[in-house]
Amino acid sequence: MCSPPKFLKRRIALLGATGSIGESALRVLAVHQDQLELVSIAAQYNHRRLAEIARAFRVRHVGIFDNAAFNEAKAGGQFAPDIRLYGGLAGLTELATMPEADVVLVAVAGTTALKPTLAAIAAQKTIALASKEILVLAGKFVMAAARASGKPLLPIDSEHNAIFQCLERRPTAEVSRVVLTASGGAFCNWPLKKLAQAKPADALKHPNWSMGPKITVDSATLANKGLELIEAQWLFGLRAEQCEAVLHAKSIVHCLVELTDGSFLTQLCPPSMTFPIQHALFHPVRASRPTEAGLDLSRALTLDFKPADETRFPCLRLAKQAMRTGGAAPAIFNAANEIAVAAFLGGRIPFLAISEIIAHTLGSLSSCDPTTLQEALAIDTEARRLASQFFVWTTIYFIFW
């Protein structure tokens, strides 16, 4: 038998430390402080929680993206004098490229961390990626940069981490398709007619996962699964028709990989992000179990799957349409979805308007393939502008029809 690879202590930069992924990462880091060292942390605005983390893990480099929160933190005095504060996008980029970090764990919601991630790749950092929107917006550029760097880009989304584990060292030619599982979110068992009355508080009651507000709403619309299909395409070099999704309410099976001979590989673990995060931070070594217990096979365990109804989940249909169209379409889908979900969470549009805004925005912009990162960012900006303009018309439509 081959001896296991030697593991050297790794130093971690955590971008998005106060969100749900960040908190799960902190649990893993707390268990394995002899092997993993947290050297820098960043968040959008929650500087009080950042100060707590800095004290607990003796972190001396702290980034705050929001300018008002950064200035408040500087004046507040909750950080020790030896802690250096970094502000804005430039601060995130500096933290992502600092020599003290070996691995940059990107857990920033949305596309904010695109530039810091590209800078980290250029600085020869290993990337542990939880921000799927980065690949949806600029997968062509991110994956080209990762290949050129020669350093790993390790997925942290539970489904993509599961696929990674199933496909590691397996040639793509042997893969027939990958199937991502979806819980169906908070409204999986709601009557279809009742969805018109769904409120943000209803959408945030996920049956299995503890996640941030945006991704929890995306789970309820299955937009999240659509984004994950696009992400899988980029991560594993697949064609659109090789990426599928099914409903699996228990969130125990995280992927199914069908090989060309008809066999299936799968990965199972409890619905906790500590499992994929630990796998990525230690890869290629397997560490001891994280904080949560594993599956209890002494009890009955049933694994049920059913097709995702795209009439019930139009956002999944639109995401798959964007994936097949290619070019800028996935980026347009993502931008419109972010704007629509923010509006829904803010009480400005009804739940069913989310898919209407996405469809309108996709139909209003060309899906030509951007040739530069600047073009991709310009398309993202224009899609957000158009989606924002459509709020009023969508709201009027749902009021009167």
The closest of 263, 256, 260, 255 to 171, measured between CA atoms, is: 260
Contacts of 64 (CB under 8 A, 6+ apart): 42, 43, 44, 45, 47, 50, 70, 73, 85, 86, 87, 91
pLDDT score at 208: 66
Contacts of 392 (CB under 8 A, 6+ apart): none
Burial class (CB in 10 A: 0-12, 13-18, 19+), 101: buried
Between helices 47-57 and 20-31, what is the axis angle to 10°? 10
CA distance 329 to 316: 14
Distances (CA, A) of 211 to 118, 219, 231, 321, 355: 25, 10, 19, 26, 21
pLDDT score at 196: 82
- In degrees, rounded to 5, the angle at the alpha carbon of residue 63 between the alpha carbons of residues 211 and 70 is 100
Q: Which amino acid is at 230?
A: I
Q: Which amino acid is at 264?
A: F
Distances (CA, A) of 350 to 91, 289, 387, 394: 36, 42, 15, 9
Contact 14, 267 (CB under 8 A): no
The closest of 142, 171, 172, 141 to 155, measured between CA atoms, is: 142
Is the pTM higher than 0.75? The answer reads yes
74: phi then psi, degrees, rounded to nearest 5: -65, -35
The DSSP 8-state label assigned to residue 185 in this structure reads G
**107 alpha-carbon distance from chain centroid:** 7
Strands 306-307 and 264-268: unpaired
The low-confidence residues of the chain, meaning pLDDT below 70, are 1-7, 206-211, 290, 391-401
The closest of 87, 151, 90, 86 to 115, measured between CA atoms, is: 90
Q: Which residue's structure tokens are 């699996």?
A: 248
